[in-house]
Chains A and B, each alone.
Chain A
């Protein structure tokens, strides 16, 4: 939609009339399409077509007497009912973990973004350094970083000792292979995706509005609640979406840091696809996950009043 808008303004901005061979507005439009072409082709080949293949597979049936992993095209909607019936706990758990991780990332990430974008304003060196620190984890492998959490939360590590000392954890308690560890991993791995959009938003915020708040009898917390926070909503929405969506489909954290009772939907899909070769169930689970996420995002963005993001 925004591309169409850009195209139309592009077209109307061009000089009108004139005895040229080709109207300039058509030339501009052609140029825009040419620029879009590589991305469009790539997405059609590697995203749109596979999605249709996936949706088709989700309705396949096992051929009578066929070997393992062989299916034939059909329209078996029952696949969805069965998939939901057997995997709704994993689905609920995934969204639950993703929600907790997203909230945790927001609580940790917003102050970080605020300090980098607002408090360090006018000190580009410090800002650059802090931003590098936010992105630094990406320099090492995702898997490696997740495995590191096993060590951090291990029975011999100081975290467990400290928590036992403070009485947060019972003397025989452990952190490895728990839901807590999974949520910790999710929060940690997706934190930069929360910080960066909020940073980008706050970076553009006019601090004179904060001064105006103070001038109009709002103290620090009130100014934050009434001005800074509402103005940073687009950043918060973008950050929470970028955290929540991949976190709810994630299977690495729950595989490496969880146990059998913390299975997330990503793991279930992974197992159905690659272990039991049950393609229709895996595909219908993927479709269900996608539809639920889409629905949640729609509702969320509407409620947050930031439709302009879509």
Chain B
């Protein structure tokens, strides 16, 4: 994995946080199901998934706020499964921030230092308030700060203790979009600066991909797929990942030709799928392609040699979003496909009702198990 190279100086040998076959059951509900993962020291790791997928429970088990039903958690090679939260070298940035309302901003940040009897806690706290650019508000009460400022206090309060692992529980969830983007950049900067291991829980795929070196996509208590963001995006291994991380066109088909490049029959059309990019290589499969990889071919236009081409389609919807235009194309026998086209100089106007053909480079095709639900992980409002 070359993913965690972004300036943090990862150390492969010092794998910091290890979860081994961790399961958490609440009454009749399994929140986390036999989960194993390793977070390398100094990396920015994101646990991504929809609400209820078990990502927050996983985080709380690492923090010691929940204890696993079975399995082991190691930090720095030490088994901390039964260690109380206050005994773990871990700090959390809570979703609600959980700042102490009766203490000043500075005393909030100094709280952990005082408990650990660190010398000169106020000076050190001040230093970290400077890191998050809030030193001028040190004597205020948390209630007197804006949401974004409170968020940064929570971050400073956790960071100042120099934990082996910093846990972030949807830390940007309560902020508005613009502030969120800004904080994403800032969080990444701070992580690079302090070089700590960050484990970040989020349901926002863009947030996870922007910041993390490694993303683990969780669903129903299990990790669906784990890897660098680009790898997850370009080569999803399940329908859930394909749909949850960005958008995908997933077309059911049957493998009719074996080899380096599989030949798949989808609704009468023959498409090529590199065998190395397919989860299963025989029987029924889902052929996937991202909307921005598809090209619209007008009447008379010829596809590049070797490209996959679908039968003639009708545009049903065209929406202009600024940098790109999103099309919906109805392909007979295959349903509706999404197409994104950059609004670069060469883009030509197309309107609903136009007849087009869809084509793409087979190298961007991915193949999923035919038993996957093609709608798994697709959220209605995206």
Interface, chain A (partner B; CB < 8 A): 206, 208-209, 211-219, 222, 226-227, 230-231
Contact = CB atoms under 8 A, between A and B. Distances in A.
A212 B91 CA distance: 9
Nearest to A222: B115
Contacts of B86: 214-219
B143 to A, nearest CB: 12
Contacts of B92: 212, 215
B98 A212 contact: yes
A209 B102 CA distance: 11
A208 B100 CA distance: 10
B84 A216 contact: no
16 contacts: A209-B98, A211-B98, A212-B94, A212-B98, A213-B100, A214-B64, A214-B84, A215-B63, A215-B65, A216-B91, A216-B161, A217-B115, A218-B111, A227-B100, A227-B102, A230-B102
A215 B64 CA distance: 8
Contacts of A216: 86, 91, 111-112, 115, 157, 161
Interface in B85-144: 85-86, 90-92, 94, 96, 98-102, 111-112, 115-116
A217 B161 contact: yes
A215 to B, nearest CB: 5
Nearest to A223: B86
Given A216-B157, A227-B100, A208 B115 contact: no
Interface magnitude class on chain B? 20 to 34
A306 to B, nearest CB: 10
Contacts of B99: 212
Nearest to B118: A217
Contact of B112 (A211, A217, A227): A217
A222 B116 CA distance: 12
A208 B157 CA distance: 15
Nearest to A207: B98
Given A208-B98, A212-B94, A212-B100, A219 B84 contact: yes
Top 3 A-B pairs ranked by shortest CB distance? Answer: A216-B112, A212-B98, A217-B115
B102 A211 contact: no
B111 A214 contact: no
Interface in B169-211: none
Contact of A215 (B90, B96, B116): B90
B85 A214 contact: yes
A222 B114 CA distance: 11
Contacts of A226: 111
Interface string B211-253: 0000000000000000000000000000000000000000000
A142 B31 CA distance: 52
Contacts of A218: 86, 111, 115
A218 B111 CA distance: 9
Contacts of A206: 96, 98
Nearest to B102: A230
A211 B101 contact: no
A101 B99 CA distance: 35
Given A214-B65, A216-B111, A218-B86, A208 B94 contact: yes
Interface in B27-70: 63-65
A212 B115 CA distance: 13
B15 to A, nearest CB: 23
A183 to B, nearest CB: 32
A260 to B, nearest CB: 47
A218 B157 CA distance: 14
Contacts of A214: 64-65, 84-86
Nearest to B167: A215
Nearest to B64: A214
B63 A231 contact: no
Nearest to A208: B98
A231 B99 CA distance: 12
A211 B161 contact: no
Contacts of B98: 206, 208-209, 211-212
Given A216-B111, A218-B115, A211 B84 contact: no
Nearest to A210: B98
Given A215-B65, A216-B161, A231 B85 contact: no
A257 B99 CA distance: 49
A215 B91 contact: yes
Contacts of A211: 65, 85, 94, 98
Contacts of A209: 98, 100-101
Nearest to A212: B98
A222 B112 CA distance: 11
Nearest to A215: B92
Contacts of B64: 214-215
A211 B96 CA distance: 12
A215 B63 CA distance: 7
Given A214-B85, A217-B112, A231 B91 contact: no
A23 B92 CA distance: 51
B115 to A, nearest CB: 4
Nearest to B65: A211
A208 B96 contact: yes
B85 to A, nearest CB: 4
Nearest to A211: B65
Contacts of B63: 215
